[in-house]
Amino acid sequence: DAKTTQPTSMDCAEGRAANLPCNHSTISGNEYVYWYRQIHSQGPQYIIHGLKNNETNEMASLIITEDRKSSTLILPHATLRDTAVYYCIVSYTGANSKLTFGKGITLSVRP
Amino acid sequence: KAGVTQTPRYLIKTRGQQVTLSCSPISGHRSVSWYQQTPGQGLQFLFEYFSETQRNKGNFPGRFSGRQFSNSRSEMNVSTLELGDSALYLCASSGGRSDGYTFGSGTRLTVV
């Protein structure tokens, strides 16, 4: 079973920030938080990951709470092409690594 | 650089047959994982290979098997196909440690 909990869906207006929450209250100390998204019928796309500190890349920002029990993915300026299912996953790395996908959150960006 | 390449993109097989799917990872990536995606069960982990060794395995029957070659290319095989094996099969590769996985576009298998 997935170790994360996400809302089923959310929407936001094009050009606005999209804040996608994720709860992972049972995360272990050496598990990373990964975010992927999947646009219909395509393979999942890696977005960002982090362990403890907040992270930012060209696609998004990841904010992890100090107790690491929850995180938020931020798409700073959502576009219509960001409409997708977003998966929050906690995972070990190395020999124990595997991605356990939950149902994800469907983000709909409206014009 | 080239992404993860999966072949074929589409496949139709008959119940009872077997099928082999191929995955070429990103150059330099030694970890290759396979996932099955169905509307009912979502994305499920099948197995992971690293340097030709299966390192991790999901909860699938023994009809599902895989292997990895010395050039990191991987194949997965499904024997005695069942209707329920119809799915999108995804391959992902990673450069290791905490790197994220890069997924291919998948092979759409239909069993009739």
| Cβ-nearest to B56 among A87, A98, A102 | A98
pLDDT on residue A96: 64
pLDDT on residue A11: 95
User: Does the pLDDT of residue B2 top 80, yes or no?
Assistant: no
pLDDT, tens only, A27-85: 988 899 999 999 987 999 999 999 998 999 999 999 999 999 999 999 999 999 999 99
Look at residues A71, A82, A81 and name the one whose alpha carbon lies nearest to residue A18. A82
Which of A97, A103, A106 is most worth mutating to test chain B (most B CB atoms within 10 A of its CB)? A97
**Is B102 in Cβ contact with A46 (below 8 Å)?**
yes
Measured between CA atoms, how close is B34 to chain A, in angstroms?
Answer: 10
User: Does the pLDDT of residue A18 top 70, yes or no?
Assistant: yes
pLDDT, tens only, B10-33: 999 999 999 999 999 999 999 999
Is residue B92 a contact partner of residue B43, using CB atoms and an 8 Å limit? Answer: no
pLDDT on residue A77: 96
If contacts are CB pairs under 8 Å, which of residues 35-74 in chain B contact chain A?
Answer: 35, 42-45, 48, 50, 55-56, 58
